[in-house]
Amino acid sequence: MSPDLGLDTDNTDGGSLRAPMNGTVVSLLVKMGTPVSKGDTLLVMEAMKMEHTIDAPADGMVTEFYFQPGDLVDGGADLLAFAGSET
């Protein structure tokens, strides 16, 4: 079994993205409703003195952030709602 690197590879068509581990939200890098491309960084978390980026799984947009900078987040918690674009 491979280690969990916090990559949500099963979530390619939208949905919620989860925190890879317990940590703190550092910054939100996009505005809700703004179109983003697959791989764009949406949010930065800090955990165990390391920064973790949460990237867009597909083209689309963030429809809601569930946490704000400074908030403590449990590992596995949904961080945001993401709607993939229909093409």
pLDDT digits (tens, 9 = 90+) for 1-55: 545 555 544 444 444 699 989 999 999 999 999 999 999 999 999 998 899 999 9
Q: Is residue 4 in some structural domain?
A: no
DSSP code of residue 3: -
**Residue 61: what pLDDT?**
95
Contact 79, 15 (CB under 8 A): no
Residue 76, pLDDT > 60, answer: yes
Question: Does residue 78 lie in a domain region?
Answer: yes
Q: What is the pLDDT of residue 85?
A: 80
Structural domains in the chain (count): 1
Nearest to 82 by CA among 30, 47, 44: 30
**What is the reported pLDDT for 9?**
47
CA 43/CA 46 separation, integer angstroms: 10
69 falls within a domain: yes
